[in-house]
Amino acid sequence: MQQRLSSPRDQIKPAYDVVVVGSGYGGGVAASRLARAGQSVCVIEKGKEFLTGEFPSRLPELRHELQINGGKMRSGSHTGLFDFRIGADIHVLVGCGLGGGSLINAGVALKPDPRVFADPVWPQEITDDGLLDLGFGRAAAMLRPARYAKAAELTKYRALEAASAAFGEGPIAAPVVVSFEDNVNPAGVSQPACTLCGDCCSGCNVGAKNTVAMTYLPDARAHGAHIFTELVVSHIAKEADGWRVYFAPSDAKDASLSFVEAKTVVLAAGTLGSTEILLRSRERGLKLSDRLGDGFSANGDIIAFALGGTEKVNGIGVGYPPKYVGDAIGACVAGQIELPDAHHLDRSMIIQEGVLPSALAPLLPVFFISGGRLLGAAHSLIKGVYQGPLSHLHTFFVVSHDEAKGRIRLDNGSATVEWPGVADEPVYARVDQALTRAAEAVGARYIKSPLAVTSMGTKPATAHPLGGCGIGEDASAGVVNHKCQVFDGEGARVHGGLYVCDGSVVPRSIGVNPLLTISALAERAMIHLARDHNLGFDDLPRARAEASS
Ligand SMILES: Cc1cc2nc3c(=O)[nH]c(=O)nc-3n(C[C@H](O)[C@H](O)[C@H](O)COP(=O)(O)OP(=O)(O)OC[C@H]3O[C@@H](n4cnc5c(N)ncnc54)[C@H](O)[C@@H]3O)c2cc1C
Ligand code: SF4
């Protein structure tokens, strides 16, 4: 039986060696590595813990897990799994729960083009000390990206192959952090094989996705970390010999703040979350770089669709237990077309085919087919979605590059992104052109995200927010140094015992889905932290016997 990782909040101790705020990739890496190094570790996560089988699989459940925040707009629970941030210029979707974005992502795990790290925006040590490669290796050993061996047999992969005629470049199987065979993973957790149900982006109810909640967090817990959920950190404050981390129950209105003390704090609340905590801390007097909030990138991340082609796609999940039995769907992403540009890195792009979660099925006729409400009434949903016109729906995820010119600032105490003119970033026109050609190659009509033109206005949206606490040489260039230590605002001097480890430290777009890079940078930071503090840890897999003892 799957073990719950979180403890009741009244068990939180007054002080720990380390407090980790947030539990996505950066937080998971920090908690696992520092617990292995013998530190007393406390993880504080804003969202809920979901066990396998508890993820939303029907539309009402999905709605219940949606929180929308932005300006004066606010709906849903503060612990909703899907955290939509509405911005004046661009919208952002992030995951909220124990495991962060890993719970609802597609799990594509790619290393960036080496030209990304050759950009002088990164301090030289990042490429020179060899630890980034070690970090990539350690992250891959824990998360285990794999290409599905029979990807080319999936209907949706063949549909992508047909679309790829537009580019003269065929697809290849995409590496995803999914277990395609029964196994005991390096954290000692048993995982069954993927059922190819396609519902990765609403949460894996099989237990086959190698999320942070299946890997780094159980590893941290097995090495003594205390994990608490549904607690939101408001700010941190420096004390004579360490830090105070102020928090409150996530959903309690006007609750008074409690605090926990720590010698070391690792902020890992995600691009928006960590930047938000530091902005609020600065308002209360903490000295930080003036660059805080700058350098936000949407990673050239786009979701778009094509409909009306002659061939079937099978791009809508069936969930688990399956709502419809037919041909296998496949993990959310099985194939991708890589379109590198040898001369202009920023023009490189990767087009991935994606699957929409089964819980969204009742909404799809409304979004995609004129008179869809009537169609929904006339046909059974099953027929309409899995056999009718919507079985020909292509979903495309694209990653590329932008200029990272967004700025995160506080609005009513919460992070919002400002980026006037972002919709004119050249990446959006380039992707529109490419996807129009892909759609034409399969006789389909290209559709920009229908979400973008309905409830959220015609603004770009991203699920890959990066930056805000970017790595740089010193406080004039970044918010943290190459070891992810936070600058105190004066040159290259840092605050002792304060780190940021998550997507916010990435100072530019990376042109690939970011989970592996975020994890690698966090692994690298933990190696440095251990060296600087004479700590040691191994990264050996846990044996199953040890796990069950
Ligand atoms: C639908 C979707 C699909 C995606 N697909 C892919 C993909 O295929 N491949 C890929 O590489 N990336 C993908 N991503 C992006 C990827 O999941 C994120 O880049 C990644 O999760 C970011 O990791 P992180 O460590 O920065 O923080 P997160 O994973 O965002 O974790 C931060 C955590 O901190 C918590 N938190 C925030 N504020 C506070 C606070 N004040 N107090 C306490 N806790 C707080 C949050 O609830 C969250 O759990 C996808 C994202 C989405 C939404
Ligand atoms: S396809 Fe289904 S079983 Fe496989 S990882 Fe995704 S959600 Fe889990």
Question: 207 CA to middle of ligand 2, Å?
Answer: 8
What element of type H or E holds 5? none
Q: Is 479 exposed, middle or buried (0-12, 13-18, 19+ CB in 10 A)?
A: buried
- Backbone φ and ψ for 358, nearest 5 degrees, come out as -60, -30
177-206 residue pLDDT tens: 999 999 999 999 999 999 999 999 999 999
Work out which ligand 1 atom sits closest to the CA atom of 82.
Answer: 53
CB of 143 shorter than 6 A to ligand 2: no
Q: Which ligand is nearest to the CA of 81?
A: 1
The per-residue pLDDT for 459 is 87
Q: Which ligand is nearest to the CA of 29?
A: 1
482-498 residue pLDDT tens: 999 999 999 999 999 99
Question: 93 CA to middle of ligand 1, Å?
Answer: 9
Q: Which ligand is nearest to the CA of 55?
A: 2
Please give the Cα distance from 323 to 58 (Å, whole number). Answer: 10
Question: 458 CA to middle of ligand 2, Å?
Answer: 31
| Residue nearest atom 3 in ligand 2 by C-alpha distance | 194
| Nearest C-alpha neighbor of 223 from the set 26, 39, 7 | 39
CB of 502 shorter than 6 A to ligand 1: yes
The per-residue pLDDT for 545 is 41
| Residue nearest atom 6 in ligand 2 by C-alpha distance | 200
CB of 146 shorter than 6 A to ligand 2: no
Question: 299 CA to middle of ligand 2, Å?
Answer: 25
CB 495 within 8 Å of CB 469: no
The pick from 12, 94, 469, 471 for probing ligand 1's pocket by mutation, whose C-beta has the most ligand atoms within 8 angstroms, reads 94
Q: Which ligand is nearest to the CA of 518?
A: 1
Torsion sign across C-alpha atoms 44, 45, 46, 49? negative
Q: Which ligand is nearest to the CA of 96?
A: 1
Low-confidence residues in the chain, pLDDT < 50: 372-374, 376-378, 453-456, 545, 547-549
The DSSP-derived string for 88-155 is SS-EEEEE-STTGGGGTS--B--PPPHHHHHSTTS-THHHHSSHHHHHHHHHHHHH--B--TTGGGSH
Helices (H) and strands (E) in the chain, counts: 14, 23
CB of 329 shorter than 6 A to ligand 2: no
| Residue nearest atom 21 in ligand 1 by C-alpha distance | 101
CB of 145 shorter than 6 A to ligand 1: no
Work out which ligand 2 atom sits closest to the CA atom of 198.
Answer: 1
What element of type H or E holds 436? helix 426-441
Please give the Cα distance from 304 to 350 (Å, whole number). Answer: 13
**Which two structure tokens, joined as six digits, stand for 391?**
């079985």
- Cβ neighbour number for residue 379 with a 10 Å cutoff: 15
What residues are paired with 43 via a beta bridge? 20, 227
**Which two structure tokens, joined as six digits, stand for 545?**
């016997």
Max CA pair span of the chain = 69
pTM exceeding the 0.85 threshold for the entire prediction:
yes
Work out which ligand 1 atom sits closest to the CA atom of 103.
Answer: 17
CB of 104 shorter than 6 A to ligand 1: yes
| Residue nearest atom 5 in ligand 2 by C-alpha distance | 209
CB 191 within 8 Å of CB 210: yes
What element of type H or E holds 448? strand 445-448
Question: 237 CA to middle of ligand 1, Å?
Answer: 25
